[in-house]
Structure 1
C-alpha cells in the first residue's frame, strides 16, 4: 500500500484540496515519524528530539506553522488586519510544542481540523480552538504582595506556567517531581508539572497571605485593554496600574478551549497529558463520546484527571494541611474545601441567590439574548458564592481562592470579540469582580492579597456564513471515521 492509499493521507488530500480553503484552514496529525501540519499551500513534518527541542523533518510550500511570532495582532487594529487570513500568515505562537503535547493524549484523534475564519463554526460569530494567535492568546494580569509591579510588558507566558507561578506565590516549596510524561524533573512545585514558574513576575522578598484568582472565560486581551482605555473596566485598570499585565498574553495549548486549558492552568500539566483533553473527545476503548459540557459530566470533570496530576489546592494542602481553599464554578477543583461543582456532585448546600443579587451588575439591554442571560445568571451565582467565601461562612478566609466568570466567553461567541455585547460583558464582569475585592477589603485582607486575572483562551471573529458539513464530506469521500465536535477525526 502506498502512502497515498492510507486513510490518513486520503483525509489530508480531501481537507487540503484547494476547493476546501473556504472551510478548512489546516489539518494536524500524528505520523509514523512525528507530526504533520498541512494546508492547501504547504505542509511541515516535525518531531520532538530527546532533549525536547523540535526537529523539522520536511517542509513544502508556505506551510501553516511557518510564522510563530508572539507579537502579531497586539492591539485591535493589528488584530483586525490579520483576523481573516490563513494560518502561516496568521501567527501560531508555540505551535510545535502545542501539537506535540496534544497528541500525547490517550484519546487524541487521528487528525484535528483548524477551521477557516471564512466560515461559521458552531453558529458562532466569535470562536477559538485553533493554533492561531488570536484564539490562543488570553490576558494575564497580576497585582499585590509578591508581584513585581512592572506595568504593561511585551512578554508572554503559557497556560501551563500559571499553576507553577501561583504555587510559587503561595510559597509551596520546590522539590522533585515528574513532567506530564512521567519523566523525573527537579525544582517543581507540583507533583506533576509541565510548566515553569514565571520568576520575572514574582518578588522573592515578599509573600502574600492570600492569593485570589479571577478567570474571565474566553476573553480577547485586546478587547480587555480597549475597555480599560475607554474607562469601562476600572477594576482591571487598577490592577494594571499597581501590577503587571502580560501584553503578549497567556498562550493556551491545543485545543485552545475551555476545559482543556482551565485544567492546565489549575494543574500545570498540558491538556494532552492532564487527562482532560478538551471539552469533549471520543473514548475508543469504551466507544463513547465524553462531553464535559453536559451538566452531569461537567461537574465531575475532576474525575478525568490522569494519575499523578495534582491541583493547586492539593499541592498547597500537601505543604499546609490546614490551609483553607475555595473555588466557584471551576473544573480544576479537586482538593478544594469549598467547590461549587463538588457541592453539586454531592447535593451539598449552595448559597441562595436573591433576586436583587441576580439583577445586580447586568446590562438589561442584552437580557433578551439567551447566551447573555444564561451566563449572567451563572456569574451572579459565582459572585454570590465568592462573597460568602470571603465572609468566612464556609471556614477560614481562604489562603487560595479561584472564582470563574463565564459571561465574556458567552458574549464573545454570540457577538464577536469586539462587539457591543462583549463590551457589556466586560463592564458587568469587572463590577462583579469589584464586589469580591471590596469584600476582601472589608475583611481587612486586601493589602495582603495577591490578585490574578486571566482567561483560558482568546476569541477570534469569524465570517457570518453557512457552516461546512464535514461529516457529509467524509462520507462522500468514502472515509470511514467518527467525528467529534465537528473537527476531530477518529478513523475507524
Structure 2
C-alpha cells in the first residue's frame, strides 16, 4: 500500500517550519481558560521529519490520533492509525449513531444535559460519533486553499445564535436523504452514505454512461488500468446501488429538493408525530428509498462547501471551496464566496465536473436550473450566477401570488428569516415560470435550494416552533413544485432527492463562543475564518561557515507567492545568543535581515553550533527559534497536554 496525499501540497497543514507555531496554537485552543472547554478537536496534517511521510492528526483533551491515508492493493483508499495517545477521539465513527430523536435525548442525558429542553439538549464529545472521520479530515488537506489547522467545536460552543452547524461530529453533519421516484427500491434502508455519493447515484439511476474519469484517489480509470468506471470527471463518491432498482423504470429527470439546515431527526420526528403535517413531503416519502442514517456531509459542515460537494460528487478538498471564507496563500488574500453570494461559481476547481455540466455532456442542449443554489456552475438558468432565463415581469407577479406561503411571523420576529422566506418565494416563482414556458423545454435537472429552514434553525434553534413553521412553509412550496410537474405530466418520470447540506445543533448562545479566534488572543499571527486557521510563519535557514568564524541566517516568508517561490523577508529582527551550561545567555549579535532576507554575524570559535541559539521575529509573523546547527526548537505539545 502506498501513502496517498495530501494532493496538490502547497502549504496546507503544518510543514516543518510550522511545528512550533502549530503546537502553540493547538495548546492554546485546548488548554487556555474558557476556550479549552469549548473545543472538541483540532485537526491538521503534519509533515514528517527527515523524509518520513507526514500524518493527519486529531488533537483533543482526551487524546490524540495520528493516521495516514493509503491506496490499497485493490486501488481503494484505506486509513491506517499509526499512533494513539490517551483515547482516540475519532474512534467512534458509527454512521447510524444519534439518528433518532430518542438517541439524541439519551446521549444528552448521558452527558449530564437536559434531554427534555430542546434549547439545552447538548451532546458531549464522549457521546458523539464522527462518521467517515478519517476520510473527511484527510480530504480537506488536499486543497491548496485548506488551512493549517481546523477546529471542530463542541456541540454547543459556536456563535451566538440558538442553532448552528459546522463541526465534524454527526449531529451537525447528518442530513436527511431520500431518493424518491422511478428506479429506486422503495422503503427504509438501514445505512448512511456520504453527500458525495448523491450525484453518482442519481446519474447511475438516470443511465448516464461511465467515463474515463478520476476516482477518489485522483487517478483516471486509464491511469488505474481500468475500463471507464466513473460518472463524473472526478468522482469521490460511490453509486449507492443498495437503493437502486435496476429492473425498474428509469427516471428521465432529476429534481433535488435541498432544505437547507434541515436536521434529519427533526424531519423524522415531525413526520412520525404529526400525521396531518407535511403532506407533500409525505407524498415523496411514500415512493422513496429512505436512508436511516441519511447523508453525512462535507467537513466543515457549512453551506457553501457542502452544496458544492453535493453538486460535484467531490469533497471540499477537491472542489476547493473549502469554507465560506478562506485564505489564498499565494495571493496573500482572503476570499469569501458565501460573503458575496452571487457570481461564485468560479471559485470551484475547474478540474471537477458539476452535475449540470454532466447533464449537458450527456444531453447537449438540455435545460438545467439552479434555483438559488450556492453552486450553479454549468446550469443554463442560474440567477445567482447572472444567467436568468425567466421573464422578470412574470416572476414579479408570481412572487406576489406565492407570498401567501410566507409565514407573517418572520416579519415581526426575525428579519433574516423573513428575507430567506422571500428568497424562497422568488425561487418558487422562477420554477413556476420555467415550467410554464411554451418556448423552453422542461428542465432535465433542477437543484432547488430552500433556505428558510436554515434561517429558522439558526434564529430559533432546532426542534423549535420556529423550525416547525419553516418546515411547514417549505412543504407548501414543495407542493407547488409537485403540482406544476403533475400539470405537465412530468412527475412520474422524475427522480427526486430530498436532503440538506448539514445538520443543526442547539447552542449555548450566552457563551458567544468563537474558539477558533482564540489563537489571535493567544498571540499567534494568523488569518482566521471560522473554523479554520492559516498561520503566518517564517521559513528560517541557519548555517555556519566552514572556518567557524561567521554564521548567517536567511529568512523567507513561509508561504510561496504566485511565482511558486518563497520571497525573502526583509526587516526580520534576529537575535543570536551563546548558551553555555551553568551560565547566563550571552548576546553574540542582533540586527535585521537585508533585502535578500539575510543577516550575517561573527561566531565565537569556542562555542559549538549547537550552543548558539537564534531567535527571529517580525511584525505579523510568528517568532522562530532554532540553533545554528539547524535544530528547530519546538514547543513540546505532547508533554504539555498529556504528560508524555
Say yes or no: TM over 0.5.
Answer: yes
| 1:469–1:249 distance in 2 versus 1, CA, 3 Å | closer
More deviation in 316-325 or 374-383?
A: 316-325
1:57 paired with 2:101, answer no
What is the CA–CA distance in structure 2 between the aligned matches of 1:172 and 1:125, rounded to whole Å?
Answer: 43
Pick 1 or 2: higher relative contact order, CA cutoff 8 A, min separation 6.
Answer: 1
Cα deviation for residue 390 of structure 1 reads: 1.6
1:54-133 equivalent positions in 2, closer than 5 A: 54-82=79-107, 84-119=122-157, 121-133=158-170
1:364 paired with 2:400, answer no
1:178 counterpart SS class = coil
1:225 paired with 2:268, answer yes
For structure 1, the residue ranges without an aligned partner over 5 or more in a row are none
What is the CA–CA distance in structure 2 between the aligned matches of 1:64 and 1:350, rounded to whole Å?
Answer: 55
Choose between structure 1 and 2: higher helix proportion.
1
| 1:417–1:320 distance in 2 versus 1, CA, 3 Å | same
- Does the 8 A contact of 2:371 with 2:449 survive in 1? yes
Residue in structure 2 matching 1:171, options 196, 201, 207: 207
1:170-319 equivalent positions in 2, closer than 5 A: 170-179=206-215, 182-185=218-221, 186-205=228-247, 206-229=249-272, 230=274, 231-295=276-340, 298-319=341-362
What is the CA–CA distance in structure 1 between the aligned matches of 2:520 and 2:442, rounded to whole Å?
Answer: 57
1:21 counterpart SS class = helix
| 1:473–1:333 distance in 2 versus 1, CA, 3 Å | closer
What is the CA–CA distance in structure 1 between the aligned matches of 2:132 and 2:445, rounded to whole Å?
Answer: 30
What is the CA–CA distance in structure 1 between the aligned matches of 2:375 and 2:516, rounded to whole Å?
Answer: 32
More deviation in 43-52 or 10-19?
A: 10-19
Cα deviation for residue 223 of structure 1 reads: 0.7
More deviation in 250-259 or 330-339?
A: 330-339
1:491 paired with 2:491, answer no
What is the CA–CA distance in structure 2 between the aligned matches of 1:454 and 1:302, rounded to whole Å?
Answer: 21
Aligned to 2:522: 477
1:314 counterpart SS class = helix
Cα deviation for residue 391 of structure 1 reads: 1.5
More deviation in 154-163 or 80-89?
A: 80-89
1:24 paired with 2:60, answer no
Cα deviation for residue 348 of structure 1 reads: 9.2
Aligned to 1:434: 479
Cα deviation for residue 476 of structure 1 reads: 4.2
TM-score with structure 1 length normalisation?
A: 0.93
Number of equivalenced pairs? 486
TM-score with structure 2 length normalisation?
A: 0.72
2:396 counterpart SS class = coil
1:35 paired with 2:59, answer no
- Does the 8 A contact of 2:29 with 2:519 survive in 1? no
| 1:105–1:99 distance in 2 versus 1, CA, 3 Å | same
What is the CA–CA distance in structure 2 between the aligned matches of 1:132 and 1:359, rounded to whole Å?
Answer: 37
Q: CA RMSD in A?
A: 2.3
Aligned to 2:377: 334
What is the CA–CA distance in structure 2 between the aligned matches of 1:304 and 1:244, rounded to whole Å?
Answer: 33
- Does the 8 A contact of 2:345 with 2:385 survive in 1? no
What is the CA–CA distance in structure 2 between the aligned matches of 1:352 and 1:9, rounded to whole Å?
Answer: 55
1:277 counterpart SS class = coil
2:437 counterpart SS class = coil
| 1:167–1:366 distance in 2 versus 1, CA, 3 Å | same
For structure 2, the residue ranges without an aligned partner over 5 or more in a row are 1-15, 48-53, 109-121, 222-227, 537-644
Cα deviation for residue 459 of structure 1 reads: 0.8
What is the CA–CA distance in structure 1 between the aligned matches of 2:262 and 2:505, rounded to whole Å?
Answer: 10
Cα deviation for residue 188 of structure 1 reads: 0.5
- Does the 8 A contact of 2:390 with 2:433 survive in 1? no
| 1:437–1:89 distance in 2 versus 1, CA, 3 Å | same
What is the CA–CA distance in structure 2 between the aligned matches of 1:415 and 1:390, rounded to whole Å?
Answer: 34
| 1:468–1:126 distance in 2 versus 1, CA, 3 Å | closer
What is the CA–CA distance in structure 1 between the aligned matches of 2:325 and 2:367, rounded to whole Å?
Answer: 31
More deviation in 258-267 or 167-176?
A: 167-176
1:49 counterpart SS class = strand
More deviation in 430-439 or 88-97?
A: 88-97
